[in-house]
Amino acid sequence: MSLSVVILAAGKGTRMKSATTKVMHKLAGKALVEHVINTAKTLSPQNLAVVCGNGAEQVTPLVESMAATTVMQNEQLGTGHAVMQAQAIFADAEQVLVLYGDVPLTQPATLEQLLSCGDQNSLRILTTKLANPTGYGRIVRNEKNKVVCITEQKDADETTLKINEVNSGIMVLPAQWLKNSLSKLQNNNAQGEYYLTDMVALAVADGLAINTVCCDDNAEVAGVNTRQQLAELERHYQLLQANTLMAAGVTLADPARLDVRGDVTIGQDVTIDINVILEGKVDIADNVTIAANCIIKDSSIAAGTEILANSMLDNATVGANASIGPFARLRPGTVLSDQAKIGNFVETKNANIGVGSKINHLSYIGDTDMGSSVNIGAGTITCNYDGANKHRTTIGDNAFIGSDSQLIAPVTVAEGATIGAGTTLRKDAASGALTLTKSIQKTVAGWKRPVKKKAK
C-alpha cells in the first residue's frame, strides 16, 4: 500500500522559553524533528511532508536538506487544521501516517506494527497506558472494547478522566477517506481548534474499522514541551544506546555516563570509561580502550588502540595498536598509522603520522607528512602558517627531532636526519647528519632581571 507521511511541526513551544523553535531543540545531537524524519524514511513513503508554522525559517532549511517537503500552516488552528494544509501531499496515496515533530523516540518497528494492524480502509491509532494520564486525550471504548472516540483532557467528564489508555496522536488513516472527511471537522471545543482526534468519531460513524497498537514503552510516544522533558528523553535515549552497545560486546564503566550523538559502530571487547562522548559518524574496531572524559567525533579507530583520559579526536583516522593521550587533541585531517603514539598535550592537524612514530609530549604537528619510526622531542612545533598561507613539513623515516625545535615550513627533514635540541630549522636537513642552530653560552656579570612597571 502506498504511504504518505505528514509530520506536524508548526507549534511554537512556549514552555521551552527559547528563541529556538521547539522541534529544533536537540536530542543526542540532532534536532527533534530530524529524529522523526529519519524514522519516517525507514518506512519508504512515497511522500514525506513537514507542516511548519512558528519558527519555519529555522525548520525549513533542515527539512529541505533531508529531501522532505515543507508545508506551511500560517495560522495554528489545531492538529486537524495542520493536516488540512498537507492534503496535496497525500492526494495520490492509499494511507497517511501522521507523526509529530516533537515526539522523537518512536521506533520504526512500532510504526511497522501500526501500519500492519489493519487494512488500508481502517483507521489505526498508536496508544499507550499511563499511571498519570493527565493532559492526554483518552481512548474511549464501548462495552465490546471497540474504540468510539478520543476525548481531550479539557473536554472530558469525571468518568472519562479515569481512563489511563491515552492517545499518542500518531495515526494511520485511509488517505481518500481522510481527504473527504477533513471538511467535517468542527472547532466547537474548549480550545476552539480543529482536532485530528475527532476523525475517530467520524470514522466510527462511517463504519470504518478502528484498530489500535498499545506501545509498552511510554518514551516512544512522549512529546517534548519543556526542557525537563527533553532532558528525560535524552537520558532514556542514551540508556537505550548503552544497552545496545553492551549487548554487542562493549564494556561500559557506567552506562549512565556515556553519550552517543550520532551513528556509532563499535566492535567486540571495547572498553569505555565514564563521561565519553561519541559524536557524528564514529567507527571503533575490536579491543579498543577509551579512558574517561574523551570526546570522539567523526573518526575511525582501528583494533587494539588505547585512548587515554581527556583526549579529543575530531575527523581523525587512527590505525591499529596506537596510543593516544592523555590530554591529546587530534584535529581534522590527522591520520595516525599503526603503533604510532601521540602523548600528553600534543596537538595534530592535517598530519600524516607514520608507523611507529612518536610525538610524546607538548608538541604541535600541523600540515605534516611524517614517515615511520620518527621521534619528536618535547616542545617541537611545525610552524606551518606564515600569516597568510599554510605550508607543509616533510619528515623522513627514522628522523629524530630534538626537544624545543621549530620547523619553519615549507621544509624537509630527510630520512635518518637528526635535529639538535632548540633548533630553529629554516632550511632542509640532510639525511644521516646532525643539524642544529645554537648560540655560544656566556655569562653576563651584574645583569638584573627586569621589573614590572608600575601603572600610571
Q: Quick one: cell of 358?
A: 612518536
C-alpha cell at 456: 600610571
Q: Of 137, 194, 193, 204, whose CA–CA distance to 165 is shortest?
A: 137
E strand or H helix at 356, and its extent?
Answer: none
- DSSP letter assigned to residue 65: H
Residue pair 95/1 in contact by the 8 Å Cβ criterion: yes
Contacts of 164 (CB under 8 A, 6+ apart): 129, 130, 131, 133
Q: What DSSP string describes 120-141?
A: TTSEEEEEEE-SS-TTSPEEEE
The reply to whether 35 belongs to the active site is no
Among residues 137, 129, 128, the alpha carbon closest in space to that of 198 is found at: 137
Dihedral sign (CA 284, 286, 288, 293): positive
Which cell goes with 426? 629554516
Cis peptide, bond prior to residue 410, ω within 30 of zero: yes
Residue 57 CB partners (closer than 8 Å, separation 6+): none
Q: Are 62 and 178 in contact (CB under 8 A)?
A: no
Find cell 590527522 and name the residue: 334
45, 172 in Cβ contact below 8 A?
Answer: no
Q: Which of 25, 35, 81, 361 is catalytic?
A: 361
Cα(332)–Cα(317) distance, rounded to whole angstroms? 9
Cβ proximity of 277 and 261 under 8 Å: yes
The residues, ordered by sequence, that sit 6+ positions from 99 with a Cβ below 8 Å of its Cβ are: 5, 6, 7, 8, 36, 39, 40, 106, 170
| Cα distance between residue 107 and residue 181, in whole Å | 29
Q: Which residues are catalytic?
A: 361
